[in-house]
A and B are shown apart, each in its own frame.
Chain A
Amino acid sequence: MLLQAKQAVKRFSSGTPNEVIAVKDISLDLSAGEFLAIHGPSGGGKSTLLLILGGLLRPDSGTIEINGRQPYALSAEDRASLRATEIGFVFQQFHLIPYLTVIENVIAPGLAPRPAGKESSHTELHQRAVELIEKFGLAARADHKPGELSTGERQRTALARALLFKPPLLLADEPTGNLDDENARIVLTAMKEYCAEGGGVLLVTHDARASEYADRTLTIRDGQLQAENVPA
């Protein structure tokens, strides 16, 4: 199993009258090559669940396993190393570095130290980045900075960056939220292709278009998974 969550719970302002249970006892799993979409309204706990699954936000209870390793049982540095090798992230706001060009943004995750045996040379990284930006139709924009890109180009850049090291798991938070149909299609298609290559994709969104590409769809409401919908 690529990703497994068991009874994950996350509370905010715990023990106060303002306590919010963002994630309630959620269990799910994701296999390699699978595209899982989690739908839900804003404030339903989608982003919180994604951060928990990505090893960025420790749950109050429950366990998370990524490729058989529990990120929250690791030290902060080892958890960072796990993220660097196992996970790629795509966010709605792209989070591109404004002073780097497209190709530099794609290469940026290369700053993180890689475990022994998984290091890549600068040339290898550059080659891989070039392939990705060509694949996502960004070749002409390789030397442009994020401020000079359209919204769709920015998201494609963010997606290319997430896939630089071909992580087994791609976590995407509302990647099509700001995109037009065409750009949403490009992004979702790319994710689907990535699954076809063996990667696992977990996407949280309220965009109905995502369901068309997902192998499975879950609905989250008030922090709880409501139903599972497997396309015919």
Chain B
Amino acid sequence: MSVWQIIIKEIRHRKLNFCLSLVAVAVAVAFLTGAISLLNVESAITHWLQNQHQAEFEKKIELKQEEVQKAGQELTEFARKNGLLLGFNIWILPENQSLNELHVSGEISQTFPESYVHKLSEAKVVTINHLFPMVIEKLTWEEKGIDIILTGTQGEVPILHRTSKKPLQDQVPTGSMVLGYNIHSELNLKVGDKVQLRGKEFEITELYDQRGTKDDSTVWINLKEAQELLGRQNLINAILALECNCASVDRIGEIRQELASILPGTKIIEEKSRALARAESRNKAKQEAEESLAREKLSGMTLLEDQQHNRDQLEQQLSFFTTVLIAFILICATIWLGLLTYNNVRQRRNEIAILRAFGVRSHQILTTIIGRNLIIGVLGACAGILIGFLAGNVYANWSGTQASAGYETPLTLHLTDLQAGSSLILIFLLAPVLALIAGWFPALLASREDPASILQSEN
């Protein structure tokens, strides 16, 4: 007969004590396993949610960025299409031209030589780009009985020291006429119609859509023909310079300074076109959109960081609470097991005494008590791990489903998310160690008890 046979037979004999001891260990281990599973599940869910939020946020920002980019492209396209009137445009006028007359009646009655535009085109100017000489006269189109603004233009005069660029505006060919919206709509004119202006025949080559500006009441013809019709040979009323380049804030001042030496006797005013205002407005809108995007990005990142921080805090609190609870349960289980072991030892005083009387050594007695607790620890660990693991798995499935509700991708938690193998091994080792600790004191008492006093008291 061996010590282990004694242990097994004793366990079978005192089943209640053994079962209660087993329950103590199993409950403690189940709590420990379940708590670790719970913490791991919470951590995995947090990580998953964080990734989902991050992905959603990035997707949202990406969409916004696309919108902003699209808006930017539209703006660029708009600017390109409206390049004629975009950017920083100026009028070069005769020095004696009354601006009051220009602003009140829209007329430019003063002239300067057409050669000015050629002089300018040959000069190495850097602040201005495209040059459009023109004559402008507000008159009554006698043949049609309507007041118009007649504009003679020859298209762009190239600036010679620059590399050749595509002209921004085509020349109006001789004998052709371009009509603003009000003119062609009131007179019911179409492309290809032939009309008389001051006795000269013109063919209508283009009709403009409504612009909502004085252009709607303008008739464009070739510059030379306009000069002849108006008796202003070799004279022009103004030069329109488009897309001027100025680095400084005082752009007008900069241009005036450069042109003063080339074209004395001229004055310069800035063309504030509606297109420019619209472009500026769009620029501002783009800038605001970009700023809003940046703010949203920052706010989103802050929100994500806050969420992460909050969940981290929650996890820490949960972890702390769980640690305290588990420590409490482990201590209670150890004490409970210790008391049960002590009770078992008390019940076995006689058998221990008689075995000692027959010469069984104290360490063998110690082994029978400790061995019993070792078995309780191992079996309790197995049962507790199984229960804790199953409970953790149920919680993981439920919690995963709850957490991923409303998301496209469901959260799937694997068994490895619940417990690492190493932690399971540690838990498995911890239970027998605790059982040994719980049984050590009663076992030591039993092994050291004086058999004579027991045998004496029993007889």
Contacts and interface: CB of A to CB of B under 8 A. Distances in A.
Interface of A: 47-48, 51, 54, 56-57, 76-77, 80-85, 89, 91-93, 95, 97-100, 104, 107-113, 122, 161, 173-174
A89 B358 contact: yes
A47 B459 contact: yes
Contact of B451 (A56, A100, A109): A56
Given A89-B354, A98-B13, A99-B13, A51 B455 contact: yes
Interface residues of B, number: 28
A95 B455 contact: yes
Nearest to A92: B459
Contacts of B224: none
A83 B87 CA distance: 118
Interface string B444-459: 0000000110011011
B1 interface: yes
B355 to A, nearest CB: 6
Contact of B456 (A48, A95, A122): A48
B362 A56 contact: no
13 contacts: A48-B456, A56-B455, A57-B456, A80-B359, A83-B358, A89-B357, A91-B458, A93-B350, A95-B458, A97-B351, A98-B351, A110-B1, A111-B3
Chain A CB within 10 Å — which of B10, B351, B353, B364 has the most? B351
Contacts of A104: 1, 9
B358 A108 contact: yes
Given A108-B1, A113-B359, A113-B361, 8 more contacts: A48-B456, A51-B455, A57-B452, A99-B9, A107-B1, A108-B355, A109-B358, A111-B3
Contacts, number: 92
B361 A112 contact: yes
B360 A100 contact: no
A54 B3 CA distance: 24
Q: Is the interface of A mostly helix, strand, loop or mixed?
A: helix
B12 A99 contact: yes
Contact of B354 (A82, A95, A110, A113): A95
A100 B359 contact: no
Contacts of A82: 359
B372 interface: no
B364 A111 contact: yes
A56 B452 contact: yes
B227 to A, nearest CB: 133
Contact of A80 (B1, B10, B360, B455): B360
B6 interface: yes
Contacts of B6: 97, 100, 111
Interface string B334-357: 000000000000000011011111
A57 to B, nearest CB: 4
Contacts of A109: 355, 358-360
B282 to A, nearest CB: 96
Contacts of B1: 104, 107-108, 110-111, 122
A54 B358 CA distance: 10
Contact of B351 (A48, A54, A95): A95
